[in-house]
Amino acid sequence: MAITAYKTVFSEYHSGPTSFIHMLSKPIAPTRDVAINQDDTDKLRDTRHKTAKKINTTLVFYGDHNADKAMELNQLAYHSQQSVCFIDCQRLVDKYIGKTEKHLSKLIAQAGSQSWILFFDKADVLFSRRSEVKDAHHEYANQEVSYVLKCLSQYPGLSILSLTEKPKLEMLQYAVDSVISFR
């Protein structure tokens, strides 16, 4: 399960109300440094300041190193004293058009009232294109990308998209505040 690496750096874990939500709270202040560039360290410091002021911020954690991503997520939660809403995107995405958006809008509404850090694990799935348009219903299936970005831009806190695929990163770079690359 994808959540395992993240659970180890938080002292409390709870399953959420749906199969794709997990709550991580009480972050443990880690002592190990992560392998990121100095520029990324500066971006994370800026993100901490924005989060403290409740300014909308969207980050991308790019790379395959889940342990390092977990450590940075822990640091952000520790400094902001917020819980993390861990979203398993492979379970969030529904095969029926419109269901993913419905789940996402409910999640964003609840998260806004709870002041959580939203962490979208394996977010590449959210931005996958449907390969073939067969009828009028499929014509609008690829609008999920715009909808996800719109929802995140309206969320009053910190949201993080965890990506591993370079084409997805290139597609999203314009729409996020910062990209943190894990070596």
Q: What is the CATH number of the domain that holds 97?
A: 3.40.50.300
Domain of 54, in residue numbers: 4-27+34-128+138-181
Instruction: Check: CB of residue 142 under 8 Å from CB of residue 41.
Output: no
Instruction: Check: CB of residue 5 under 8 Å from CB of residue 70.
Output: yes
pLDDT of residue 163: 94
Whether 156 maps to a domain, the answer reads: yes
pLDDT of residue 158: 94
pLDDT of residue 161: 94
Whether 165 maps to a domain, the answer reads: yes
Whether 173 maps to a domain, the answer reads: yes
Model's pTM, two decimal places?
0.87
Cα(96)–Cα(112) distance, rounded to whole angstroms? 26
pLDDT of residue 147: 79
pLDDT of residue 31: 59
pLDDT of residue 168: 87
Distances (CA, A) of 127 to 93, 100, 118, 142, 170: 10, 12, 17, 8, 11
Whether 94 maps to a domain, the answer reads: yes
Whether 169 maps to a domain, the answer reads: yes
Whether 133 maps to a domain, the answer reads: no
Whether 99 maps to a domain, the answer reads: yes
How many domains does the chain fold into? 1
Burial class (CB in 10 A: 0-12, 13-18, 19+), 115: middle
Whether 22 maps to a domain, the answer reads: yes
Mean pLDDT by 10 residues, the chain (183 residues): 78 81 84 76 91 90 89 90 91 81 85 87 80 50 71 89 90 89 84
pLDDT of residue 109: 83
